[in-house]
Homo-oligomer: A and B are copies of this chain.
Amino acid sequence: MKEIRYIRAITEALSEEMARDEDVFVIGEDVGGPGGAFSATKDLLEKFGEKRVKDTPISESAIVGLAIGAATQGLRPVAEIMFMDFLTVCMDQIVNQMAKMRYMFGGIYKLPVVIRAPCGGGLNAGPQHSQCLEAWFAHIPGLKVVMPATPYDVKGLLKTSIRDDNPVLFIENKALYAFKGEIPEEEYLIPIGKADVKRKGRDVTVVATSRMVHQSLEAAKSLSNEGIEVEVIDLRTINPLDKETIFQSVEKTSRLVIAHEAVKAFGIGAEIAAMVCEEMIDCLDAPILRVGAPFVPVPFNLENFYLPNTEGVVQAVKKVMAY
């Protein structure tokens, strides 16, 4: 095992996959040189050369379109979009083209495209650089949506995403880029669509994603001191959703809290709550509570009021316990 930052785990995954498969290339704004805005692609240009590390103009639709076209011919592009908020300037390519092409054309294409994009607040980056929009993409058939929370998961899942023959939206979290964690020295993969029970517990299930996984673990720790044992499930993949792991846990705990950083209303927590309510309502001993952001744009300097946090999870858990 070794300790590594989330951002460097991404770099390792890219580097390993590029070494393993000559058809993998990275493309995006500033991905050469210093390795993009957050240095995810650092040193790849030196290692793999200009053929496989493609610096582009600021033209997100062209970036994604090129990736799609190249993928129809067997290449395996990994496109970087600098902030998740900028996916808005290439939504047609993602949603109407990439997601639908295989279906629309009768299955003739595989589309092994990965689009990496960081979500989230915590950096005081303001309303146009802090959003969590995973719910949009989870609503679109044809895409897979991956959203890892730890260095270990980000590396294993990015490697798997690159090997997947379907388009994958790979949502990183910029507030986690500097976060450190252990990973094995040797190669490993993590399957897409498999949630991870990050902490076992008998009383309440907390399903969380991305940064909120860490807040939930913190919450679980402090609640444990009060005798409440929380099971924390890190979803890791938003689509396909690992219903089984969630359901098994809820069956055991009978209490569910969902925590994500995205705006609560119409977020992915709604789907999880609705699924449980549809298929196992009788298991529930309490309402399903959701912890998410309020219905306002992400403010520059009021993030401390805006961002869902540990305390929010603690309160929600206590509420379902007290019910």
Contact = CB atoms under 8 A, between A and B. Distances in A.
Interface of A: 85-86, 88-89, 91-92, 94-96, 99-100, 103-104, 126-128, 133, 135-136, 138-142, 239, 262-263, 265-271, 273-274, 276-279, 281, 284, 286-290, 295-297, 299
Given A274-B290, A277-B277, A127 B139 contact: no
A289 B278 contact: yes
Give the interface centre of A270, A271, A274 by most chain B CB atoms within 10 Å.
A274
A141 B127 CA distance: 11
A274 B269 contact: yes
B278 A274 contact: no
16 contacts: A89-B91, A91-B91, A100-B297, A133-B139, A135-B136, A135-B139, A136-B136, A138-B265, A141-B297, A142-B297, A266-B271, A273-B278, A276-B277, A278-B288, A279-B287, A281-B286
A277 B267 contact: no
A290 B288 CA distance: 17
A312 to B, nearest CB: 14
Contact of A139 (B95, B265, B278): B265
Given A100-B297, A277-B287, 7 more contacts: A88-B92, A103-B296, A103-B297, A133-B139, A273-B273, A274-B277, A278-B287
A276 B296 CA distance: 22
**Count of identical protomers in the assembly:** 2
Contacts of A127: 96, 100, 103-104
A287 B181 CA distance: 41
B273 A277 contact: yes
A134 to B, nearest CB: 9
B89 A92 contact: yes
Which 9 pairs between the two chains have the least Cβ-Cβ distance? A273-B274, A270-B270, A88-B91, A139-B266, A88-B92, A270-B274, A270-B271, A91-B91, A277-B277
Nearest to A258: B274
A296 B141 contact: yes
A266 B265 contact: no
Give the interface centre of A136, A266, A273, A289 by most chain B CB atoms within 10 Å.
A266
Nearest to A289: B278
